[in-house]
Amino acid sequence: MTADDGGAVPGPDGRPRCPWGLSADDYIAYHDDEWGRAVHGDDALFERLCLEAFQSGLSWITILRRREGFRTAFAGFRIAEVARFTDAHAVRLLADPGIIRNRAKIDATLANARLLAEWPEGELDRFVWSYAPDPATRPAPRTLSDVPAVTDASTALSKALKKRGLRFIGPTTAYALMQACGLVDDHLSDCFARGAG
């Protein structure tokens, strides 16, 4: 997402959206129906955590356009299944053109799944959501330049996940996770999707 001096922009249907939500056709549905909506469930949060990690250093549209490839390659991001992936699976993933073939990110995904498979059911959900800041303390952003890339809460979440052994989850990635999964609502104040989470 890039900074912008204006607020929401009318889309093809006339509804005002965050400007990034209109920057590519693929973004409209993602912006309207997913981004900033509450995501719960260990597997669902694991998927978002993995995709945000794979996005690191790339544009989100790159990940969004390959999401189905990622889901196929990583067994629907079911933690218990990914935790059983072997070295042979890692070799297959490195050759899969449907995903981002980055060895460090693939290794982190497999290691994180193995670690999370040991957590009690529901623990990832409870843990991540315990870092959701009080919405009353966060004014609605008026422009994209009002939206931070990292916050104290995302830094704390990143440190806590790393302390528990998870990899490839820095403060910026943690904040992108918080935005995508509805822990924070960074839709602009005049965006129609504001408050829909």
Each residue of 33-42: pLDDT tens digit? 999 999 999 9
Active-site pick, 20, 60, 131, 175: 60
Which tokens sit at 153?
């809460």
Instruction: Give the mean model confidence (pLDDT) for residues 20-29.
Output: 93
Q: Does residue 30 have an active-site annotation?
A: yes
Annotation: binding site? 18, 31, 187, 191
Return d(Cα 66, Cα 90) in angstroms, integer.
18
Domain ranges for the chain? 42-181
pLDDT at position 6 is 77
Annotation: binding site for Zn(2+)? 18, 31, 187, 191
Q: Does residue 52 have an active-site annotation?
A: yes
> CA nearest 173: which of 24, 8, 54?
54
Residues 41-59 pLDDT 10s: 999 999 999 999 999 999 9
- Identify the CATH homologous superfamily for domain 42-181: Hypothetical protein; domain 2 (1.10.340.30)
Residues 81-138 pLDDT 10s: 999 999 999 999 999 999 999 999 999 999 999 999 999 999 999 999 999 999 999 9
pLDDT at position 3 is 41
Active-site pick, 30, 34, 81, 119: 30
pLDDT at position 163 is 98
